């Protein structure tokens, strides 16, 4: 070791050792303990330092031992095994402790209590061995064991301190600033922190280096503090930021002392990383600020309190770390007590909590604070500390005050209400009553006197039952029973006897209490009388309305009947004429018969409206039915109304009462006629519909329907009346002109049949009624005889080819068809018929089914191929034939047939041909 050459070589320890071991080494070296240091990195482990105590113990001066091995202390009696153990333990870098017999320079032997500590260098390997020696020769003698232990303990402490110094966690660096020399010697961590080269810190750096890592924002402050030390100040203790080699900024706490005088003055210090503490403290501060919590710590007997910034803020004081106790307490309102009392009479662990109302000195504002603190024993001074927090509770207090005020206000209001109620009690014209469940009166209001004449004194204590009309007592008891079960009684009426003996009707509202009934009674005697009058008037009105309705109905019905009767009357009158032709006579008889049928229908309508008529639903083809009704409609509408029939669908079956259908159609036609005043155009249209559109407030429906619509060119119906037109007896016609039942029947029929009626109207343009009926699949029921009679010469000269193998039937049928007005040719077989068809023109083929040779069905098929324009009607007495072969779409007449049936089938065929 030669790098401490500029200092006294034999007196000073190597700088590197000092730097590694820190200031504590100096203390040890100066203590009375014998100390030897060897350089562990040189192979012969030479001694590099001994202190004065060593020289005193062994007699060797530094110059005697420096550079030599410690072996020189050994002699013949030295235990070789112990030496080997020491060497081995040190190689492992561990502390070793042993008693060794050594020799002084003068040759005397002594027991050396040896403790050797390896001092690690840069690479973690021992740089030095630091050994202490103690003469324990005397101790080895019995009786001085105690002294030994004392020394042993002292030794252990020193050793522990040294080790602690070497490994103190968090110490970033330590330095030894030789002020006069203007050099700073640093340890390895100092070197690392300041990025000094190997050995540079040991050799010392210029003081300027010290400031090189200090954050620019702090430099002036630290320069001032260091400047103070350099100029004689003794204590250095500053927190500041340094910028590390990697660019990060850390908070450090630099602490140091100035030692020595004048030329020998040194500034020895350490730097400890306090970044984490700073952050924690900052977080705490933020938490306190955010939570509005101020902290304080007061040591009993002191005049000042340590406080946080938030504490000052809460009290409205200038921020300070310490505040005079008196200042703190002076913000409290007079007589408000002390936030922090100067008590010394508290127990450790005692918690104290109190509220204070303060006047902030800065704003003059009144605030409420909560102070909570705990008494603790100060560990440093063993004085009593009162430590705690304050926080603002003004809002909570305000709410509390508000609630209290509100409560008081409520009390005031309650008493006001009570006064109001008392007024009501006194002034009410309704009688008020508090009674027990047995009927005993507890209290009555003055209305009893004014209404019934009873004085309060007469009533209180008496039983109510005595006043109740004998007929009402039973019901009264029942009501009291309900009250007893907790029910409230509303508008219970009974009669009470007045003082003059008359009875008044009272309407009661009563509520039960725990054991009392509170009731209010209103005199309804007059009201009841008025009610009775009203009811009588209403009854009279209803009666007159009924009469009006009956009048309308009878008027309407009478009108229709009169028309019918007129026909019958004139027909019978005509029939009485002696010179009447048979044909005319028959016509008049027919007319009478028809009219009677219509009259029957009219009564049927009334019955249907009354829902007394049972509907007889059957499946029928609507277009066919509408066409069949064509003549009838024409008759009803009269000659000045043109009928345009439009069939936009093929077969379209529905299941409904056919008679009702006819009636509905007639009713709609009559309605149209009347709307047009007997003149205009009625369009009848039949079509298939995928649903029923929305009708008025009614939702639309989907499904397959057949729609029959009748559009007139009449006056139309106003929107406000549209909603009522289906109501029974609703009519816009004059009394006697109509029953008002027509559309009602249409509506009832449609609904009953699973359909509906729609109406669209425009005032002045006309109205369209549409009857929707659900479509069904299947076969139409035979329609024979359903409607119609022989209608005179309707044949219209159509040519019919009759195919009939039976001569008698053929002859009769020919006659019949001719009578019906058809031009008839008779063929006795299918072949003959085919031949005739080739030669002459026919409109209809009427053929028997079962015939020798070609059957009627086969014939029909051939005709359909050859003469598709020709209508074919089959007739058979054997339905099984048709069941087997099917009628293949041909019209069919079941034998035996009535004349009307024949006529109808032929007409239907001929009409459909016309339309086709």
Partner 1 sequence: MTPPEALLNELERDALTELVNIGVSRAAASLRKMVGGEVLLSVPSVEIIDHHRAIALIQEREGEDLVAVRQDFSGAFQGRALLIFPQANGLELVRAVLGEALPDDEDAAAMEQEALAETGNVILNSCLATMANMLERSLTMSLPQVLRTDGRGLLANGDTAADEGPVLFLYINFSVRERSIRGYIAMVMDLRSLDALKRLVGDFIDRVMQDEA
The site that binds partner 1 (CB under 8 A) totals a number of residues, namely: 32
Choose the stretch contacting partner 1; rule: CB under 8 A; options: 275-283, 324-332, 667-675, 684-692: 324-332
Written as six digits, the tokens of 58 are 């062994």
DSSP character string of 280-312? HHHHHHHHHHHTTEEEEEEETT-SEEEE-HHHH
Closest CB to partner 1 among 268 and 686?
Answer: 268
Cβ atoms 875, 892 nearer than 8 A: yes
- Taking CB under 8 A as the criterion, the residue among 32, 324, 785, 796 binding partner 1 is 324
Per CB under 8 A, 207 contacts partner 1:
yes
The minimum distance between CB 111 and partner 1, in angstroms, equals: 36
Dihedral of the CA atoms 450, 453, 457, 461 (nearest 10)? -110
Closest CB to partner 1 among 356 and 726?
Answer: 356
- Taking CB under 8 A as the criterion, the residue among 52, 325, 354, 498 binding partner 1 is 325
Query: Left (φ > 0), alpha (ψ -120 to 50) or beta: where does 630 sit?
Result: alpha
- Taking CB under 8 A as the criterion, the residue among 304, 338, 352, 463 binding partner 1 is 304
Q: What is the DSSP letter of 778?
A: S
Choose the stretch contacting partner 1; rule: CB under 8 A; options: 126-134, 202-210, 617-625, 903-911: 202-210
Q: Give the integer Cα–Cα distance in Å for 292 and 326.
A: 23
Residues between 138 and 197 that touch partner 1 (CB under 8 A): 182
Per CB under 8 A, 226 contacts partner 1:
yes
* Other beta carbons less than 10 A from residue 493's beta carbon: 15
The minimum distance between CB 338 and partner 1, in angstroms, equals: 13
Per CB under 8 A, 763 contacts partner 1:
no
Per CB under 8 A, 326 contacts partner 1:
yes
DSSP character string of 34-102? EEEEEETTSTT--EEEE-HHHHHHH---HHHHBTS-GGGG--TTS-HHHHHHHHHHHHTT--EEEEEEE
Closest CB to partner 1 among 210 and 505?
Answer: 210
Mapping DSSP to helix (H, G, I), strand (E, B) and coil, where does residue 231 land?
Answer: coil
- Taking CB under 8 A as the criterion, the residue among 9, 120, 228, 736 binding partner 1 is 228
- Taking CB under 8 A as the criterion, the residue among 32, 303, 481, 796 binding partner 1 is 303
The minimum distance between CB 328 and partner 1, in angstroms, equals: 9
Choose the stretch contacting partner 1; rule: CB under 8 A; options: 217-225, 266-274, 360-368, 561-569: 217-225
Per CB under 8 A, 283 contacts partner 1:
no
Which residue in the block uniquely carries the two structure tokens 């001719």?
Answer: 818
β-pair type (96-103, 47-50): unpaired
Which residue in the block uniquely carries the two structure tokens 């840069």?
Answer: 122
Q: Residues 235-274: x/- map of binding to partner 1 (CB under 8 A)?
A: x-x--------------------x--x-------------
Residues between 30 and 89 that touch partner 1 (CB under 8 A): none
569-595: b (≥16 Cβ within 10 Å) or e: eebeeeeeeeeeeeeeeebbeebbebb
The minimum distance between CB 261 and partner 1, in angstroms, equals: 8
Closest CB to partner 1 among 326 and 811?
Answer: 326
Per CB under 8 A, 612 contacts partner 1:
no
Per CB under 8 A, 575 contacts partner 1:
no
The minimum distance between CB 29 and partner 1, in angstroms, equals: 20
Per CB under 8 A, 341 contacts partner 1:
no
The minimum distance between CB 227 and partner 1, in angstroms, equals: 4
Mapping DSSP to helix (H, G, I), strand (E, B) and coil, where does residue 22 land?
Answer: coil
Q: What are phi and psi for residue 861, nearest 5 degrees? A: -65, -40
- Taking CB under 8 A as the criterion, the residue among 8, 123, 169, 208 binding partner 1 is 208
Closest CB to partner 1 among 204 and 742?
Answer: 204
Per CB under 8 A, 234 contacts partner 1:
yes
The minimum distance between CB 165 and partner 1, in angstroms, equals: 21
Give, to the nearest 10 degrees, the angle between helix 658-675 and helix 742-752. 140
Per CB under 8 A, 337 contacts partner 1:
no
- Taking CB under 8 A as the criterion, the residue among 95, 230, 574, 787 binding partner 1 is 230
Per CB under 8 A, 211 contacts partner 1:
yes
User: Which residues are CB-contacts of 898 (< 8 A; sequence separation ≥ 6)?
Assistant: 784, 785
The minimum distance between CB 31 and partner 1, in angstroms, equals: 17
DSSP H helices, 363-493, are 394-427, 447-452, 456-459, 473-484
* Other beta carbons less than 10 A from residue 667's beta carbon: 23
Closest CB to partner 1 among 339 and 800?
Answer: 339
The minimum distance between CB 361 and partner 1, in angstroms, equals: 12
The minimum distance between CB 381 and partner 1, in angstroms, equals: 7
Cβ atoms 373, 296 nearer than 8 A: yes
Closest CB to partner 1 among 35 and 317?
Answer: 317
Closest CB to partner 1 among 214 and 665?
Answer: 214
- Taking CB under 8 A as the criterion, the residue among 77, 232, 337, 886 binding partner 1 is 232
The minimum distance between CB 166 and partner 1, in angstroms, equals: 26
Cβ atoms 823, 800 nearer than 8 A: yes
Cβ atoms 717, 676 nearer than 8 A: no
The minimum distance between CB 211 and partner 1, in angstroms, equals: 7
Per CB under 8 A, 559 contacts partner 1:
no
Greatest CA separation found in the chain? Answer: 195
Helix H or strand E encompassing 746: helix 742-752
Per CB under 8 A, 285 contacts partner 1:
no
Q: Give the integer Cα–Cα distance in Å for 210 and 226.
A: 10
For 286, counting Cβ atoms within 10 Å of its Cβ (0-12 exposed, 13-18 middle, 19+ buried), the class is exposed
Query: Left (φ > 0), alpha (ψ -120 to 50) or beta: where does 307 sit?
Result: beta
Closest CB to partner 1 among 146 and 382?
Answer: 382
Per CB under 8 A, 206 contacts partner 1:
yes
Per CB under 8 A, 231 contacts partner 1:
yes
Count of residues for the chain? Answer: 916
Written as six digits, the tokens of 584 are 């005319």
Which residue in the block uniquely carries the two structure tokens 């603002």?
Answer: 392
The minimum distance between CB 288 and partner 1, in angstroms, equals: 22
The minimum distance between CB 228 and partner 1, in angstroms, equals: 3
In terms of Cα–Cα distance, which of 580, 545, 771, 557 is closest to 666? 771
Choose the stretch contacting partner 1; rule: CB under 8 A; options: 233-241, 620-628, 725-733, 840-848: 233-241
Written as six digits, the tokens of 779 are 């076969």
The minimum distance between CB 92 and partner 1, in angstroms, equals: 41
Closest CB to partner 1 among 19 and 327?
Answer: 327
Per CB under 8 A, 379 contacts partner 1:
no
Per CB under 8 A, 220 contacts partner 1:
yes
Q: What are phi and psi for residue 479, nearest 5 degrees? A: -65, -40
- Taking CB under 8 A as the criterion, the residue among 60, 110, 128, 210 binding partner 1 is 210
* Other beta carbons less than 10 A from residue 376's beta carbon: 18
The minimum distance between CB 266 and partner 1, in angstroms, equals: 14
In terms of Cα–Cα distance, which of 687, 773, 761 is closest to 725? 761
Choose the stretch contacting partner 1; rule: CB under 8 A; options: 36-44, 223-231, 487-495, 552-560: 223-231
Binding site for partner 1 (CB under 8 A): 182, 206-208, 210-211, 220-221, 223-228, 230-235, 237, 258, 261, 302-304, 322, 324-327, 381
């Amino acid at each position: 070791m030669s790098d401490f050459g500029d200092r006294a070589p034999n007196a000073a320890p190597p700088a590197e050792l000092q730097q590694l071991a820190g200031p504590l080494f100096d203390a040890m070296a100066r203590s009375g303990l014998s100390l030897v240091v060897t350089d562990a990195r040189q192979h012969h482990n030479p001694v590099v330092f001994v202190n004065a105590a060593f020289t005193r113990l062994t007699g060797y001066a530094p110059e005697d031992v420096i550079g030599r091995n410690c072996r020189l202390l050994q002699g013949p009696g030295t235990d070789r095994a112990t030496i080997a153990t020491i060497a081995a333990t040190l190689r492992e870098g561990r502390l070793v402790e042993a008693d060794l017999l050594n020799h002084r320079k003068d040759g005397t032997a002594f027991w050396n209590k040896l403790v050797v500590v390896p001092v690690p260098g840069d690479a973690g390997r021992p740089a030095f061995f630091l050994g202490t020696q103690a003469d324990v020769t005397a101790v080895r003698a019995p009786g001085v064991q105690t002294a030994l232990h004392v020394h042993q303990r002292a030794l252990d402490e020193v050793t522990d301190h040294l080790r602690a110094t070497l490994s103190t966690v968090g110490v970033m660096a330590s330095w030894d600033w030789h002020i006069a020399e203007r050099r700073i010697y640093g340890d390895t961590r100092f070197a690392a922190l300041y990025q000094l080269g190997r050995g540079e810190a040991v050799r010392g750096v210029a003081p300027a280096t010290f400031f090189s890592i200090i954050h620019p924002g702090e430099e002036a402050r630290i320069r001032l503090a260091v400047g103070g030390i350099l100029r004689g100040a003794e204590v250095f203790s500053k927190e500041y930021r340094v910028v590390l080699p990697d660019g990060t900024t850390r908070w450090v706490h630099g602490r140091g002392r100035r030692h020595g005088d004048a030329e020998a003055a040194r500034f020895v210090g350490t730097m400890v990383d306090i970044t984490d503490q700073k952050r924690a403290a900052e977080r705490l501060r933020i938490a306190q600020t955010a939570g509005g919590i101020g902290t304080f710590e007061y040591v009993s007997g002191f005049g000042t309190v340590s406080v946080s910034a938030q504490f000052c803020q809460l009290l409205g004081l200038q921020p300070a770390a310490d505040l005079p106790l008196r200042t703190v307490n002076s913000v409290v309102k007079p007589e408000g007590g002390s936030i922090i009392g100067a008590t010394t009479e508290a127990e450790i662990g005692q918690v104290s909590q109190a509220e204070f109302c303060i006047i902030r000195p800065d704003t003059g504002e009144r605030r409420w604070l909560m102070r909570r603190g705990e008494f603790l024993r100060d560990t440093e001074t063993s004085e009593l500390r009162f430590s705690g927090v304050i926080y603002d509770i003004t809002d909570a207090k305000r709410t509390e005050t508000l609630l209290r005020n509100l409560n008081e206000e409520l009390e005031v209001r309650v008493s006001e209400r009570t006064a109001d109620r008392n007024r009501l009690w006194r002034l009410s014209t309704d009688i008020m009553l508090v009674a027990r469940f047995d009927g005993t009166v507890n209290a009555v209001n003055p209305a009893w006197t004014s209404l019934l004449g009873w004085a309060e004194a007469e009533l209180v204590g008496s039983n109510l039952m005595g006043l109740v009309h004998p007929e009402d007592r039973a019901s009264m008891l029942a009501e009291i029973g309900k009250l007893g079960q907790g029910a409230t009684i509303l508008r219970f009426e009974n009669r009470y006897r007045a003082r003059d003996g008359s009875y008044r009707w009272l309407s009661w509202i009563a509520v039960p209490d725990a054991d009392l009934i509170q009731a209010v009674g209103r005199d309804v005697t007059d009201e009841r009388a008025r009610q009775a009058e009203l009811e009588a008037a209403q009854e009279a009105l209803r009666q007159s309305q009924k009469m009006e309705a009956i009048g309308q109905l009878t008027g309407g019905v009478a009108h229709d009947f009169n028309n019918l009767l007129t026909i019958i009357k004139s027909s019978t009158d005509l029939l009485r004429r002696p010179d009447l032709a048979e044909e005319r006579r028959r016509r008049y008889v027919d007319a009478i018969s028809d009219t009677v049928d219509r009259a029957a229908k009219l009564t049927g309508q009334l019955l249907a409206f009354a829902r007394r008529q049972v509907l007889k639903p059957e499946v029928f083809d609507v277009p066919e039915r509408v066409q069949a009704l064509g003549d009838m409609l024409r008759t009803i509408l009269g000659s000045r109304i043109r009928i345009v029939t439009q069939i936009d669908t093929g077969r379209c079956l529905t299941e409904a009462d056919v008679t009702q259908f006819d009636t509905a159609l007639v009713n709609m036609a009559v309605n149209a006629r009347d709307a047009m005043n007997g003149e205009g155009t009625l369009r009848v249209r039949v079509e298939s519909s995928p649903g029923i559109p929305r009708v008025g407030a009614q939702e639309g429906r989907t499904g397959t329907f057949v729609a029959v619509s009748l559009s007139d060119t009449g006056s139309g119906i106003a929107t406000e009346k549209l909603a009522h037109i289906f109501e029974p007896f609703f009519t816009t016609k004059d009394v006697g002109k109509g029953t008002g039942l027509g559309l009602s029947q249409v509506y009832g029929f449609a609904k009953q049949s699973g359909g509906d009626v729609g109406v669209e109207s425009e005032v002045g343009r006309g109205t369209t009624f549409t009857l929707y009926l659900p479509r069904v699949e299947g076969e139409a029921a035979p329609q024979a005889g359903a409607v119609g009679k022989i209608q005179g010469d309707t044949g219209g000269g159509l040519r019919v080819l009759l195919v009939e193998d039976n001569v008698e039937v053929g002859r009769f049928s020919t006659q019949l068809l001719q009578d019906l007005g058809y031009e008839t040719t008779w063929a006795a077989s299918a072949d003959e018929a085919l031949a005739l068809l080739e030669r002459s023109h026919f409109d209809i083929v009427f053929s028997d089914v079962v015939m020798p040779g070609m059957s009627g069905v086969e014939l029909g098929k051939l005709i359909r191929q050859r003469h598709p324009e020709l209508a074919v009607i089959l007739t058979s007495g054997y339905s099984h034939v048709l069941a087997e072969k099917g009628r293949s779409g041909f019209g069919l007449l079941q034998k035996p047939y009535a004349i009307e049936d024949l006529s109808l089938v032929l007409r239907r065929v001929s009409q459909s041909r016309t339309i086709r």
